[in-house]
Amino acid sequence: MRSIAGAARSVLDTAEPAAKVKAARLVARQWRRGELAHRFDVAMPVAPARPERPELLPPNRMPKRGRAGSERARIAGIHALAHIEFVAIDLAFDLIGRFGGEFPRGFVDDWIGVGADEAMHFALLDRRLRQLGSHYGAHPAHGGLWEAAEATAGDAMARLAVVPMVLEARGLDITPMTIARFEAAGDLPTARILRRILSDEIRHVGAGTKWFESACRTRQTSPQQAWRTLVSRHFRGVVKPPFNDSARHAAGLTREYYLALAPDGENFP
């Protein structure tokens, strides 16, 4: 029987977007059917395979998206979101294959679900791009999204602290504003996709918080203090408001975690 680690590696080694989506869905089905062994006998790659397009650029070289509300700006915005979801597929399966052996079987159950969600999110956004006459790969994309995985490759708690509990939590903060912009532009189909993604991402942040707190109980350490220490050590950016406190709280990520890291003591809305 193939191991879950080998199956996770197969997703990471798949470059072409549609094939990666299919691989992620296949692994999720195989796991749920009991066709994969809970065994971690295959190493994860330093970085996942990537398609030739999109061209990956540093943030300061990303082109302007155009006039707010224009079709050009909306397509560029959807493309940026699709790229985030594409990388998120690999982040979920790398988490499984790299760190699954340190946790109970339920860890894989949760993150397999996350990986399948991310594949579905990417597919929805790519289909929306095609409806608008574009496609994933038609525009440059942010090349630094995998950096958080590289910075936390040796520490499961650091990975959970940074990826779901900082990066995905930031999505909870900004997605409502993004939805409002698409609605204001009359793009209701995209807004509906983003509402679905927002609902799923609350569960994803919740999974990160759940397993981070589980690891803290094992180590008999304060989750909030451990999180702040790991984020300060491994995250290059800033944890900054505005915060979607209600969505974060629904995910178990309460203010006690992030209040002390907000710059200049800013208040929450």
- Give the per-residue pLDDT at 66: 66
- What is the chain's length? 269
- Give the per-residue pLDDT at 104: 97
- Give the per-residue pLDDT at 268: 41
- Give the per-residue pLDDT at 265: 44
Structure tokens, 27: 């692994």
- Give the per-residue pLDDT at 59: 75
Question: How does DSSP assign 152-180, residue by residue?
Answer: TTT-HHHHHHHIIIIIIHHHHHHHHHHHH
Pairing verdict, β 56-57 and 141-142 = parallel
Q: Is the pTM of this model over 0.85?
A: yes
Q: Which H or E run includes 56?
A: strand 56-57
Closest listed residue to residue 24, CA positions, set 108, 123, 116: 116
Half-sphere exposure of 149 (CA within 13 A, CB side): 24
- Mean pLDDT in each 10-residue stretch from start to end of the chain (269 residues)? 96 98 98 98 96 88 73 94 97 98 98 98 98 96 90 97 96 96 95 97 98 96 96 91 95 93 54
Residues of 13-41 as b/e, b for ≥16 C-beta within 10 angstroms? ebeebeebbebbbbbbebbeeeebebebe
